Amino acid sequence: MRRLFPVTDRTAASGPGGGPPPAPGDAGDAARDREWSLAELARAYAYPEPAPDGPRPWLRANMVSTLDGAAQHDGRSQPISTATDMRIFGTLRGLADVVVVGAQTVRMEGYRPARARAEFAGPREAAGQGPAPAVAVVSAVLDLDFSLPLFTSPLVPTLVLTGAAAAPDRVAAARRAGARVVVAGDGTGVDPARAVRALAGLGHTRLLTEGGPRLLGQFVAAGVLDELCLTISPMLTAGDAQRITGGPSVAVPHRFALASLLEEEGFLFARYRRP
């Protein structure tokens, strides 16, 4: 992997771990494309430092898209991903307090509880985080299989974000399975801005959403997305697959600024932040 942006003297002179620049044509030249350690990835994707008056919620999204804009192939993101993309996926989870995901993505991707990883145990403890991020499932009608391990045997109790008018029997089923139900809307649906505030109120300020496209579209429309981590896959799929966001368009396109860009084997790993 190599860093394309931002370009600094250190970036140009060495690999991500620092050290002296290799001689031209030396075998050390290839070190720039070596596999980055998880610690190096964690530094590259670190959340912003808390403000002097305390941490505020920071919502980042992690998505993958082909060259022709497909976020999935045959309904799943795995066929357009790569091993490095999955290492970044794991790193982003290792940094997050909570992973926010839509109900449809839970059903389609076969979501399981986030697991504790030894590589992140020390940094998470130092940051005051639990052993693994919680998973927060956004669902209006709670059409979920509450017998799945995501609800019955997570390391950290799974959260279910829903509206105040959600069906009482489904709310009760979620609670019986061990999930914590969080009301983040006045009707049956969830208000994206209220969801962010509710999670922050529970101490989850490092937020990560992995979609799906409809949920991400709602966060974009509500103006609460702070950062997009986008893997651009060098693949073409054609067809009518969803883009990374769905739902109604915004009145004026939201402009984001490029924060960093990494590359490996033609895959681009970009971070964009709201200015």
Q: What is the pTM of this model?
A: 0.88
Please give the residue that has the higher pLDDT: either 34 or 85: 85
In order of 60, 111, 128, 142, the CA distances from 97 in angstroms are 12, 17, 10, 23
- Quote the CA–CA distance of 270 and 90 in Å, as a whole number: 16
Model confidence band, residue 200 (pLDDT cutoffs 50, 70, 90): very high
Residue range 202-229: mean pLDDT, rounded: 95
Q: Which two tokens stand for residue 189?
A: 């649906």
pLDDT over threshold 60, residue 242: yes
List the structure tokens of 155: 């390391």
Packing angle, helices 192-201 and 213-222, rounded to 10: 90
Residue 13 has a pLDDT of 53
Tell me what pLDDT residue 76 has.
Answer: 79
For residues 114 and 133, the answer to whether their CB atoms sit within 8 Å is yes
Mean pLDDT of 251-260: 95
252 vs 51, higher pLDDT: 252
User: pLDDT per residue over 52-67, tens digit each?
Assistant: 888 899 999 999 999 9
